[in-house]
Structure 1
Amino acid sequence: MSLDYYDAHAKEYAELTVKADMSPAYDRFLAYLPAGAAILDAGCGSGRDSLCFMKKGYDVTMLDASGEMCKCAEALTGQKALCMGFHEIEFADRFDGIWACASLLHVSEKELENVLVKFHRALKRDGVLYASWKYGEAERMDGGRFYCDMTEEKLRRVLARVGLFDCLECWVAEDALPSGREQKWLNVVWRKCHREDPVVRK
């Protein structure tokens, strides 16, 4: 259902989010990456973050499950976006960093573990993952989109079950959209652990 929403409202969503100031999160994430690092923008949306990373000299791969959102990202950046869902990712040791800004929040807690396995496999040794969720405990539908909200404790349980990442940073931030809405976000930066790559659960 979330995918249908983004296909139907891609331009509207892009216009709403493209000017959000994500610089504090950029700074935390990029601090762990080498110059010119390979970054996967997983759920690239409007292409806002990819464009910023490209301008800073990073090698960016854009990915989004919504074909219409991919078109928006391509128009903004001038670069091709991969149209695929997280479950379709088959990269191995490809990226220094994965940027998943407000995208994993559409994945259920149960399915999140499988997605994290794929992200772990896609990252190079010592690669880092940035991700953010709306703050809360619920799994819910809102305006045609599915959300899995997260708290520190809920995400800690997921991390313990998966066992593939070490938490480098975890913080709660106010909403970055210029609309002024009241929404808190849980943000994390995780580092890939050097453990055996598990099999995705069916």
Structure 2
Amino acid sequence: MSSETIDYYNQHAAEYVQATVNVDMAELYAEFLPMVKPSGHILDAGCGSGRDAWHFKQQGFSVSAFDASAEMAKIASQRLGQYVATSSFEALNAQSEYDAIWCCASLLHVATQQLPAVLRRLQQAMKPGAVLYASFKYGSTDRFSNGRHFTDLDETSLCSLLSQLPELQLVKSWQSRDQRPDRAADIWLNALITRSPH
């Protein structure tokens, strides 16, 4: 993640939390959580305010979380009542540790050329058979917008990316509208991906 993007979240943490903390995530949870074993260990990678990690914890899952923004990590740790690391995808070094990984609107800040290496790290961190959720703004460009770097993906670029990682299988991808009232025109690409069981 670029230093400009991290700086943006450090400087705008409170307003970002306010804008996202009450977004209705029920439809996405309904796709993801049935694929996670009961009381399984979920990593919320790029957890922002901790909104989703908190929900998973309430559902009886074991949760770990990190965010590249120190301010975000601080807010998330207060919400969760547990330590949230200030860390990045590039620093993830776990081996077969998680039953599921949740990357909601976080991988989209990783530059296109870095995505294969980052996904390889996520793959290594997943237990065999584990599930990964990821979401990107819908499109096919790398862009800098409102102080942040974005990597937009569509179905074609997602499949091209995953073709470099044979252990990862795309279960499902679908488009959805942004749930924030002022962002209703924004389209997201959602993906559920599993690590092969062997």
TM bucket (normalised to shorter chain) is: over 0.9
Give the percent of matched residue pairs that are identical in Structure 1 and Structure 2. Answer: 38
Q: How does 1:92-131 map to 2 (within 5 A)?
A: 92-131=95-134
**Match among 146, 163, 166 for residue 163 of structure 1:** 166
Aligned to 2:94: 91
TM-score under structure 1 length normalisation = 0.93
Q: How does 1:1-202 map to 2 (within 5 A)?
A: 1-193=4-196
Asked whether the 8 Å contact 2:176–2:187 carries over to 1, the reply is yes
Give the distance between the partners of 2:91 and 2:77, measured in 1 at CA: 20
Aligned-residue offset at 1:141: 0.2
* Cα RMSD after superposing both structures: 1.1
Give the distance between the partners of 1:59 and 1:105, measured in 2 at CA: 25
Give the distance between the partners of 2:157 and 2:121, measured in 1 at CA: 20
TM-score under structure 2 length normalisation = 0.95
Aligned to 1:200: none
Asked whether the 8 Å contact 1:19–1:178 carries over to 2, the reply is no
Q: How many residues align?
A: 195
Q: Gaps spanning 5+ residues in structure 2: where?
A: none
- Letter aligned with residue 156 of structure 1: C
Asked whether the 8 Å contact 1:20–1:178 carries over to 2, the reply is no
